[in-house]
Protein backbone atom coordinates (compact mmCIF):
# COMPACT_ATOMS: atom_id res chain seq x y z
CA UNK A 1 0.00 0.00 0.00
CA UNK A 2 2.00 2.96 -1.25
CA UNK A 3 -0.64 5.36 0.09
CA UNK A 4 0.97 4.97 3.53
CA UNK A 5 4.28 6.38 2.32
CA UNK A 6 2.44 9.12 0.42
CA UNK A 7 0.51 10.06 3.57
CA UNK A 8 3.80 10.16 5.52
CA UNK A 9 5.20 12.49 2.86
CA UNK A 10 2.19 14.79 3.16
CA UNK A 11 2.65 14.85 6.94
CA UNK A 12 6.30 15.83 6.47
CA UNK A 13 5.20 18.74 4.27
CA UNK A 14 2.66 19.80 6.91
CA UNK A 15 5.17 19.56 9.77
CA UNK A 16 7.76 21.56 7.82
CA UNK A 17 5.14 24.25 7.15
CA UNK A 18 4.19 24.26 10.86
CA UNK A 19 7.80 24.88 11.86
CA UNK A 20 8.32 27.54 9.21
CA UNK A 21 4.99 29.37 9.72
CA UNK A 22 4.69 28.65 13.46
CA UNK A 23 1.19 27.22 13.62
CA UNK A 24 0.04 24.67 16.20
CA UNK A 25 -2.93 22.91 14.57
CA UNK A 26 -4.16 22.00 11.14
CA UNK A 27 -7.92 22.10 10.65
CA UNK A 28 -8.03 20.85 7.07
CA UNK A 29 -5.77 19.69 4.28
CA UNK A 30 -6.70 19.87 0.62
CA UNK A 31 -4.90 17.36 -1.60
CA UNK A 32 -5.07 17.52 -5.36
CA UNK A 33 -4.75 14.02 -6.80
CA UNK A 34 -4.81 13.25 -10.51
CA UNK A 35 -6.85 10.32 -11.77
CA UNK A 36 -3.74 8.84 -13.35
CA UNK A 37 -1.61 9.13 -10.20
CA UNK A 38 -2.41 5.59 -9.05
CA UNK A 39 -3.64 6.76 -5.64
CA UNK A 40 -6.78 5.22 -4.16
CA UNK A 41 -8.64 8.04 -2.35
CA UNK A 42 -10.19 5.80 0.35
CA UNK A 43 -6.83 4.19 1.11
CA UNK A 44 -5.25 7.64 1.24
CA UNK A 45 -7.86 8.83 3.75
CA UNK A 46 -7.28 5.79 5.95
CA UNK A 47 -3.49 6.11 5.83
CA UNK A 48 -3.61 9.86 6.45
CA UNK A 49 -5.73 9.28 9.56
CA UNK A 50 -3.21 6.72 10.84
CA UNK A 51 -0.02 8.75 10.21
CA UNK A 52 -1.38 12.02 11.59
CA UNK A 53 -2.17 10.62 15.04
CA UNK A 54 -0.24 12.59 17.63
CA UNK A 55 0.77 15.29 15.12
CA UNK A 56 -0.32 18.87 14.40
CA UNK A 57 -2.71 17.41 11.82
CA UNK A 58 -4.43 14.88 14.08
CA UNK A 59 -8.17 14.88 13.50
CA UNK A 60 -8.07 17.39 10.65
CA UNK A 61 -10.38 17.14 7.66
CA UNK A 62 -8.81 15.73 4.50
CA UNK A 63 -10.34 17.05 1.28
CA UNK A 64 -9.30 15.26 -1.89
CA UNK A 65 -9.71 17.20 -5.13
CA UNK A 66 -9.88 14.87 -8.11
CA UNK A 67 -8.17 16.21 -11.25
CA UNK A 68 -8.77 14.67 -14.68
CA UNK A 69 -6.34 12.63 -16.70
CA UNK A 70 -5.19 14.63 -19.71
CA UNK A 71 -3.43 13.55 -22.88
CA UNK A 72 -2.42 14.88 -26.28
CA UNK A 73 -3.77 12.84 -29.18
CA UNK A 74 -1.16 12.73 -31.89
CA UNK A 75 -3.72 11.67 -34.49
CA UNK A 76 -6.33 14.37 -33.68
CA UNK A 77 -3.64 16.89 -32.72
CA UNK A 78 -5.65 18.10 -29.75
CA UNK A 79 -5.84 17.67 -25.97
CA UNK A 80 -8.29 15.09 -24.62
CA UNK A 81 -9.46 13.91 -21.21
CA UNK A 82 -8.90 10.25 -20.34
CA UNK A 83 -10.05 8.15 -17.38
CA UNK A 84 -7.00 5.87 -17.23
CA UNK A 85 -3.71 5.20 -18.94
CA UNK A 86 -3.90 3.34 -22.24
CA UNK A 87 -7.44 4.54 -22.94
CA UNK A 88 -8.37 5.15 -26.55
CA UNK A 89 -8.77 8.72 -27.71
CA UNK A 90 -12.38 9.70 -26.93
CA UNK A 91 -12.52 11.69 -30.18
CA UNK A 92 -10.98 9.43 -32.82
CA UNK A 93 -10.44 6.08 -31.07
CA UNK A 94 -6.71 6.25 -31.75
CA UNK A 95 -4.04 4.88 -29.45
CA UNK A 96 -1.31 7.48 -29.92
CA UNK A 97 -1.84 9.43 -26.72
CA UNK A 98 0.82 11.25 -24.76
CA UNK A 99 -0.20 11.79 -21.11
CA UNK A 100 0.12 15.47 -20.18
CA UNK A 101 -1.67 15.73 -16.83
CA UNK A 102 -3.46 13.95 -14.04
CA UNK A 103 -0.40 12.09 -12.74
CA UNK A 104 0.41 14.52 -9.96
CA UNK A 105 -0.43 14.73 -6.28
CA UNK A 106 0.13 17.93 -4.33
CA UNK A 107 -0.85 19.65 -1.13
CA UNK A 108 -3.10 22.39 -2.45
CA UNK A 109 -4.16 24.14 0.75
CA UNK A 110 -3.86 24.02 4.54
CA UNK A 111 -6.30 25.58 6.97
CA UNK A 112 -4.42 26.18 10.21
CA UNK A 113 -4.96 27.58 13.68
Mean pLDDT per 10-residue section of the chain, whose length is 113 residues:
93 97 97 96 97 97 97 96 94 95 97 94
Q: State residue 1's pLDDT score.
A: 59
Q: State residue 99's pLDDT score.
A: 96
Look at residues 70, 4, 2 and name the one whose alpha carbon lies nearest to residue 38: 2
Q: State residue 88's pLDDT score.
A: 94
Domain count, the chain: 1
Question: Which residue range forms the structural domain that includes residue 84?
Answer: 3-112
CATH of the domain at 76: 3.30.2320.80
**Pairing assessment for the beta strands 97-101 and 69-73 based on DSSP bridges:** antiparallel
Which pTM does this prediction carry? 0.87
Question: In the chain, where do the E strands start and end?
Answer: 26-34, 61-67, 69-73, 78-82, 97-101, 105-112
Q: State residue 22's pLDDT score.
A: 96
Amino acid sequence: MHEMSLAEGVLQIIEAAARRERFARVRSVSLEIGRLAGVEPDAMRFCFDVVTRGSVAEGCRLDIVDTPGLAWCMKCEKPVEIAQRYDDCPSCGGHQLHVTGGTEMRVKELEVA
